[in-house]
Amino acid sequence: MGSPSEDSFTKIYRFFFSPDEDAPEEEAVTSACTFVIQTFEHIRPTPPPRPILRRIYILRDHEAANERLMKDYFDATPVHGPNVFRRRFRMSQRLFLRINNDLENRYDFFKQRMDARGYLGFTSIQKVTSALRVLSYGNTYDINDEYLKMAEKTTRDCLEHFCYGNFYCLLFIYFYIFIF
């Protein structure tokens, strides 16, 4: 950024202080103003431009995590039986699938969609499993990073949408049963 010229100081001085041309006084004011501006430029230099920080994308294998989850609990012959499912999810598999289907039909968040890069996102079963694991075990959001390959923010979003969806489903059932 260049400093203003002496002509601009002269014009400002004449406009505000003295319309007459008084050369020595004018020159003193102009040089004083130039000195002050140059001093401030040296005292407070312009900061260097900040680098543009981009988010780091961690490549997680969502599809393999979904296949493992389906093979462990939801296949025709799962690795873990109904007793293990009930102990880990604190409900029966039939109830889990009903909750999953209701949330998927009612809210777009629980549907599997493509992201901006063209990759498929998480399935509804992965999202509901993520929310239920945090609720049932009372752990932090990073519990799903290893098994479901889900980031903390995604887990937090799943939990918020899950609680929001269940609250309004229960509210609807309450009003339907007790009012009608």
Q: Based on the domain organization, do 34 and 86 belong to the same domain?
A: no
Whether residue 54 is contained in a domain is answered as: no
Q: Identify whether residues 106 and 23 lie together within a single domain.
A: no
Per the domain annotation, does 56 fall within a domain? Answer: no
In terms of domains, do 129 and 73 share one? Answer: yes
State how many domains the chain has: 2
Q: In the chain, at which residue ranges do the beta strands (DSSP E only) sit?
A: none
3 state DSSP class of 80: coil
Q: How many CB atoms lie within 10 A of CB 7?
A: 9
The neighbouring-strand residues paired with 120 are: 114
Q: Do 173 and 96 fall into the same domain? A: yes
Determine the 3-state secondary structure of 120 from DSSP: strand
- Residue 70 and residue 102 in one domain: yes
Q: Same structural domain for residues 77 and 160? A: yes
φ, ψ (nearest 5 deg) of residue 169: -65, -45
pLDDT tens-place string over residues 31-85? 777 777 777 666 766 778 888 888 777 777 888 888 999 999 988 888 888 899 8
Range of the domain at 34: 6-43
Backbone angles phi, psi at 13, to 5 degrees: -60, -45
Supply the DSSP string of 11-43, one letter for each residue: HHHHHHT-SS--HHHHHHHHHHHHHHHHHHHHH
With tokens 């008084």, the residue in question is 22
Q: For residue 1, what pLDDT band results from cuts at 50, 70 and 90? A: very low
Partners of 114 in the β-ladder: 120
Name the band, by pLDDT with cuts 50, 70 and 90, for residue 88. confident
Angstrom distance (rounded) from CA 74 to CA 85: 10
38 and 104 belong to one structural domain: no
Helices (H) and strands (E) in the chain, counts: 8, 0
Is 103 within the bounds of a domain?
A: yes
Q: Are residues 38 and 114 in the same domain?
A: no
73 lies in the same domain as 39: no
Q: Is residue 52 part of a domain?
A: no
Q: Clarify whether residues 17 and 101 are in a common domain.
A: no
Distance of CA 20 to the CA centre of its chain: 63
Residues 76 and 152 in one domain: yes
Question: Band of the pLDDT at 174, cuts 50, 70, 90?
Answer: low
Query: Does the structure show a pLDDT above 50 at 157?
Result: yes
What pTM does this model have? 0.62
Is the same domain home to 77 and 39? no
